[in-house]
């Protein structure tokens, strides 16, 4: 893991393998961002000219290397693009992405200094977090994994001794480390990560951080009547688990329940996915990874709110014991569901967890899931959908997501789409409804299991949870840890509102 620190040293005087500065696109060419003065002086005032000659424009995602001149103790100057020039400072997401580009570009370096425009605590945190996320690398299965991540990142800022700066760095480290843990889980091969091994990882983290962890195995699930989890897991040699991981704070005045879909591999079951659609289905547990990371982060930050995570873990496989299309499952809480498509399994495991979580009367329930391809068709690969039975909760989650740099969009729950699920002639519900609006239908299905009077929201992260394209900003190829920041920010806001 890349080490992180803050320094008030002058940019030109800090010894490092590389010194990172920010540049932006102006109407007449490159604009040097705050933090470049000493470096520009070492270039005799010609840094912008040199970078322009090398083809730099200041565009977001750009990274241009220049040998450091006399007067700069770093060996290399790396100019990263911040996008369009800003008169009153750059947005936090621009800083995160620029730091991420820098960290990724400098893989193999032992030490890099980030002289990006970071003065406020929020800006320091943004640069630090972007750097930690951008340095991420997953090399578990590679004999020669290439260059190691940058060894140390030093954020240059004028606030090293302040309480705010220290808290900003601590928050960035806690959040960045847990997000990278979630990425590791999503990237782990499904022959290594199954419901039992996932539960063991949570138990180990619980001991490390002082969290209460309870694991229901297949025997306990059978005794408790968790028909959704058991129905999905029936076809696999790796039986399901329901994991509860709880953080409590002595001064908390609110309790939140976060629920994560944890399908450690989704073949589709008897309704088998075709070739081309199952190769990345190890990522179908990204919701559970996000919830796990959010609970641990809440503990590490000491948030004054109780947060309970529920990880609904199963492997969806075809076999002679697998649930068939046409089978009826009796869910936890008693409702019956006719299974019309075994590849609509995520809603089944989530339904059990929603009912169980609701028994503890939380102030709100938020579930996170790579639930539907329909949501990807609607919103693309970088935006998750937000649905809720409470307009204020939906808007709050959408707002905090934007504040922390995650793209989301509020989605409706149209009452008319419920009809298709309730027309089963043999069960209370079917697990499928109308084809059009499939992401909304899935949300409506989950809503059926929310207790009356309980505020609930559903985040469908099917698009942004797993990035298959080239890395950008601080986002790597593979697992992204989508929704972790949103959950943590929502927990922080809840704690502040109840203080």
3 state SS of 102: helix
Contact 313, 199 (CB under 8 A): yes
Active site residue 273: yes
Distance CA 305, CA 193 (A): 30
- CA pair distance 269, 342, nearest whole angstrom: 6
Whose tokens are 């996320």? That residue is: 133
CB atoms within 10 A of CB 257: 27
Do residues 175 and 488 lie in contact, with contact meaning Cβ atoms separated by under 8 Å?
yes
Largest Cα separation within the chain, whole Å, is 81
475: DSSP letter: B
Element (H, E) at 79: strand 76-84
The enclosing H or E element of 316 equals strand 306-316
- The set of residues, in sequence order, having a beta carbon less than 8 Å from that of 336 and lying 6+ positions away, is 328, 329, 330, 427, 428, 429
CB atoms within 10 A of CB 140: 11
Q: Which residues of 160-179 are buried (b: 16+ CB within 10 A; e: fewer)?
A: beeeebeebbbbbbbbbbbb
Tell me the pairing of strands 408-410 and 384-388. Answer: parallel
Answer yes or no: 163 catalytic: no
The pair of three-digit structure tokens given for residue 390, joined into one six-digit string: 């409470």
Burial class (CB in 10 A: 0-12, 13-18, 19+), 243: buried
CB 209 within 8 A of CB 299: yes
Residues 6+ apart with CB under 8 A from 192: none
Instruction: Kindly name the residue from 111, 183, 299, 347 that is annotated as catalytic.
Output: 347
What interhelical angle do 195-209 and 286-301 show, nearest 10?
10
Q: List the structure tokens of 447.
A: 């809503």
Total residues belonging to the chain: 499
CB 222 within 8 A of CB 234: no
Catalytic residue among 73, 160, 196, 273: 273
**Torsions phi, psi for 484 (to 5 deg):** -60, -50
Q: Which residues are catalytic?
A: 273, 347
């Amino acid at each position: 893991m890349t080490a992180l620190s803050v320094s008030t040293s002058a940019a030109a005087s800090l010894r490092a393998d590389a010194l990172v500065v920010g540049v932006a696109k102006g109407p007449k060419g490159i604009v040097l961002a705050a933090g470049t003065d000493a470096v520009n002086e070492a270039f005799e005032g010609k840094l912008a000219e040199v970078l322009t000659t090398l083809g730099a424009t200041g565009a977001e995602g750009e990274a241009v290397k220049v040998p450091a001149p006399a007067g700069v103790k770093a060996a290399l100057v790396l100019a990263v693009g911040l996008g369009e020039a800003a008169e009153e400072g750059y947005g936090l997401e621009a800083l995160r992405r620029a730091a991420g580009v820098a960290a990724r570009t400098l893989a193999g370096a032992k030490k890099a200094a980030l002289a990006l425009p970071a003065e406020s605590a929020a800006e320091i945190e943004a640069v630090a977090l972007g750097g930690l996320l951008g340095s991420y690398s997953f090399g578990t299965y590679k004999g020669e994994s290439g260059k190691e991540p940058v060894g140390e990142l030093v954020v240059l800022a004028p606030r090293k001794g302040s309480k705010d700066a220290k808290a900003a760095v601590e928050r960035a480290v806690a959040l960045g480390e847990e997000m990278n843990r979630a990425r590791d889980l999503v990237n782990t091969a499904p022959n290594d990560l199954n419901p039992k091994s996932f539960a063991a990882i949570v138990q180990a983290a619980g001991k490390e951080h002082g969290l209460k962890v309870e694991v229901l195995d297949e025997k306990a699930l059978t005794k408790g009547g968790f028909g959704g989890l058991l129905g999905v897991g029936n076809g696999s040699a790796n039986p399901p688990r329901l994991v509860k991981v709880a953080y409590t704070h002595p001064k908390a005045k609110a309790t939140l329940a976060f629920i994560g879909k944890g399908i450690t591999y989704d073949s589709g079951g008897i309704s088998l996915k075709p070739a081309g659609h199952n190769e990345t289905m190890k990522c179908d547990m990204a919701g559970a990874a996000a919830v796990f990371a959010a609970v641990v982060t809440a503990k590490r930050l000491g948030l004054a709110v109780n947060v309970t995570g529920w990880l609904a873990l199963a492997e969806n496989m075809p076999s002679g014991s697998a649930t068939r299309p046409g089978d009826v499952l009796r869910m936890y809480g008693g409702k019956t569901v006719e299974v019309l498509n075994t590849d609509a399994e995520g809603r089944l495991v989530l339904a059990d967890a929603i009912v169980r979580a609701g028994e503890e009367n939380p102030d709100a329930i938020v579930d996170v899931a790579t639930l539907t391809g329909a949501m990807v068709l609607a919103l693309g690969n970088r935006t998750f959908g937000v649905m809720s039975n409470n307009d204020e909760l939906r808007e709050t989650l959408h707002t905090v997501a934007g504040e922390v740099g995650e793209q989301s969009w509020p989605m409706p729950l149209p009452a008319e789409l419920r009809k298709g699920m309730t027309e089963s002639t043999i069960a209370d519900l079917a697990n499928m409804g109308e084809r059009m609006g499939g992401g909304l239908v899935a949300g409506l299905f989950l809503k059926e299991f929310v207790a009356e009077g309980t505020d609930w929201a559903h985040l469908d992260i099917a698009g942004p949870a797993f990035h298959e394209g080239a890395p950008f900003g601080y986002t790597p190829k593979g697992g992204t840890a989508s929704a972790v920041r949103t959950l943590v920010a929502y927990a922080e806001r809840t704690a502040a509102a109840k203080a």
